[in-house]
Amino acid sequence: MKIRSTSLLVAALLITPGYAMAADEAVVTGSVELGVRGVDDQDDSAKFQEYRDLDDGLFGDFLLDAYKDSYYFELQGDNIGLDDQDYLLKGGRYGKFKYLFNYDETQHNLSFDAKTFYSGVGTDNLSFDGGAPPPEENWSFFDYAIERKKYGGELEVSLGSPFFVKIGASKLESEGVKPLASGSFADVVEMPEPVDYDTDDLLVTAGYRSRAFNLTLSGLLSSFDNNNLYLNWQSPYFFFGTPELNVLPPENDYGKLGGNLTVRQLPFMSTFSLNGSYARLKNDISITDINLTAPTALNQSTFDGEITYTTLAAALASRPTREFDSRLYYNYTDKENDSDVIEYDDFGEIISNAAELFDYSRNQAGVDLGYRLPWRSKGELGYEYQDVDRRNRPDADQTTDHTYYLQLKNSLSDLVTAKLRYSHLERDTDSDFDLTDVTDTDAEYIVQFVQRYDATDKGKDEIKLSLEFYPLDSLDLGLDYSYILNDYDDVTLGRTEDTRHQVYLDFLWHRFKMLSLSGFAGYETTDADADFYNFAANSGIPPQLADPTLDDGNPDSYLWSQEIDDSFWTYGLSTQVGLLEDILKLVVSWEYQKSDGKTTFSSQGVDPLADITRFDDYTKKLLEAKLVYSFARQLDIALGYVYEKYTYNDTQYDGYQYVVPQTFVVSDGAYLTGAYADHDYEASIGYLTVRYTF
């Protein structure tokens, strides 16, 4: 069933006896754990097993460590034979060579028991029989899931010299199906997109190491292959069976050259580091490769994509005196997009991808200064300058950031350690885009660009406070608080402000080895405000738009605002009790999480907008109890129980339907598959394990 993982395990066990260097002279330690579990998941939810395999049955782990003189060896395996199993084998001789082999499986479950009227799930061809999709009761079931398998290894050789060479290779295989939606307006069809990817990596590194000097050069080659370059599917709309095509992730090749230089033992106890790299991503695709005939208006039938990254980073850390330390740094990143420009004539209008060929360059420089103050205190301050020059972003050609911070840390008392940090960012935007120059034909253009708040003028203030208390030798307390305010200046449409608060408390109390109690509690809240504009058909854009406080008098075109409130709180408790002179241990833990989001609207329109009170809400509960009995010095038996419950509540899932009718004259409605609809679960897990340590 698991041919590759089984072969790796067998090979490792065959290597072990010969390598274990005569057991009577080597030190060998390790453990073997075997278990059986039963799972009651009445909801059969993919969310419950999103990244794990928790089915009924057997499971096990093992660990083997061996060393003799300068030789060492380690073999490890987790979740043997399951869909989330992984294995690691490494060893070598200190100062001479070392090697590593690994195999890892990850199961990403998205949705179980999804439904579709298409046949050919998992292939690049989706179709249905007849003149129209069959009724829902005749649809077929399938699972949205992706299985990832990664395996590889590396070998490093130095032979006792300061020079070394390391070669590594790995392969990642991804196979399964994931949701894909296609269509326009209300005519949307959800379908299973096939996933059949292979990624091969080869890394070569060579360098020189010494106490005062390090030099490393590296090269990486990576190839991504997709066994399904496109997806053919039949449209369920209008003329039933009309062939459609979606282009899937294209194959590409990636290469990167990099270097690192580190010089230590410089004057003023300084260390200088310099890093640089050059990377290129290339792909190409042809109309003929995807079974299409090139439109006569298309300027070319092939596309060559090429993106290059150039980076440079330098840093100088110094400590000229016992009290004073500093760090100077500079980072440079340049992204160039030299991909082909594809364009065609659409009834007199030239459509092009030129605006999508985004690239940029970034310069970042800063200084950090620290000084040890009296009363076991230390003060730090710093400044960072960042300039980003974007191409093909008319809303934000260039942004300049100035960031300042001040930090104080005090540990005068052995009972309390405190740290307070304040930072302020000021961002200025240089843009050719002027809202007042927009005509009434540019409504879509405005909506597309001015709502982006990632690169607009803004001020940001952030405060962080950390306190650690040690009132007793057996009691530790902690407090962390942070406050973040983003104020987006001069924003007419889009995000105007957001505020965030976060506070977390934790404690640990222990009484010898007999009893320990720990816990935590946290609360986070986010408030975000945004302004938008409703453009009525043929209404034009009023000149007052630049001032959102004015009304244009047109009830079909109006300003409206949105406020998003998101609160999250969590707490957890855990206790461990030692019984029968610590031969028997009881461990109990409880964790609770709740997220409560809502969004409210206000508008100048005639019709009020409905508020949404259930906006990405969820509740999660986790209880675990475990009883561990030390049957012998090297043998433990554990009996455990886990209870999990997860509930997701969002307005968009109310009255979920697989076929959603629409009222539009030209629309037949939406066809859904149930992707992510099986989010709720309530599950119980019971397990018994036996662990032998040697």
3-state DSSP: the chain helix, strand, coil percent, rounded to 5? Answer: 5, 65, 30
Maximum average pLDDT range among 113-122, 230-239, 647-656 = 113-122
Residue 367's closest CA among 405, 395, 413? 405
User: 333: how many CB neighbours lie within 10 A of its CB?
Assistant: 16
Q: Please give the Cα distance from 279 to 306 (Å, whole number).
A: 11
Contact status, residue 577 vs residue 555, Cβ threshold 8 Å: no
Rounded to the nearest 10°, the torsion over CA 652, 655, 661, 665 is -60
Mean pLDDT, residues 646-674? 80
For 390-409, b where at least 16 C-beta lie within 10 A, e where not — what string? beebebbbbbebebebebeb
pLDDT band at 295 (very low <50, low <70, confident <90, very high): low
Confidence of residue 662 (pLDDT cuts 50, 70, 90): low
What's the rounded mean pLDDT across residues 1-25?
46
The H-or-E segment that residue 432 falls in is none
- Give me the pLDDT at residue 294, please: 55
* In the predicted structure, residue 542 carries a pLDDT above the cut 60: no
HSE toward the beta carbon, residue 645, CA cutoff 13 A: 6
Rounded CA gap, 505 and 590, in Å? Answer: 16
**Positive or negative torsion for Cα 119, 125, 128, 132:** positive
Query: Span 31-48, mean pLDDT?
Result: 92
Considering only CA atoms, give the Rg of the chain.
31
Joined together, the tokens standing for residue 340 give 């082909």
Where is average pLDDT lowest: 20-24, 61-65, 276-280, 281-285? 20-24
Counts for the chain of helices (H) and strands (E), in that order: 2, 33
**Which strand (E) or helix (H) includes residue 15?**
helix 3-19
Query: Tell me: the pLDDT tens digits for 57-114?
Result: 999 999 999 999 999 999 999 999 899 999 999 999 998 999 999 999 999 999 999 9
pLDDT digits (tens, 9 = 90+) for 380-406: 999 999 999 988 776 678 889 999 999
CB 77 within 8 A of CB 87: yes
Q: Does the pLDDT value for residue 667 go beyond 60?
A: no
**Residue pLDDT, tens place only, 615-649:** 889 999 999 999 999 888 889 999 999 999 999 99
203 within 8 A of 219, measured Cβ to Cβ? yes
CB 214 within 8 A of CB 207: yes
pLDDT tens digit sequence for 161-199:
999 999 999 999 999 999 999 876 667 899 999 999 999
- Cα dihedral value 646, 482, 615, 608, nearest 10: 160
- The pTM score is 0.84
Q: Which of 153, 124, 251, 123 is nearest to 198 (CA)?
A: 251
**Does the pLDDT at position 31 exceed 90?**
yes
In sequence order, what are the beta bridge partners of 223?
Answer: 200, 253
As a whole number of angstroms, the distance between CA 209 and CA 560 comes to 62
**Residue reference for tokens 């392969």:** 171
**E strand intervals along 580-634:** 584-603, 617-632
What value does the mean pLDDT take over residues 117-138? 90
Give the separation between CA 212 and CA 575, rounded to whole angstroms.
Answer: 48
Task: Tell me which amino acid residue 237 is.
Answer: Y
Candidates 237, 240, 244, 200; CA nearest to 220 is: 200
Dig out the tokens for 249 from the structure. 């992730």
Length of the chain: 694
- For residues 93 and 72, give the distance between their C-alpha atoms in angstroms, rounded to a whole number: 6
The reported pLDDT for the residue numbered 9 is 44
Residue 177: CB atoms within 10 Å: 24
- For the beta carbon of residue 585, count every other beta carbon within 10 angstroms: 18
CB 43 within 8 A of CB 681: yes
Compute CA distances 270 → 109, 177, 315, 396, 648, whole Å.
50, 53, 10, 39, 53
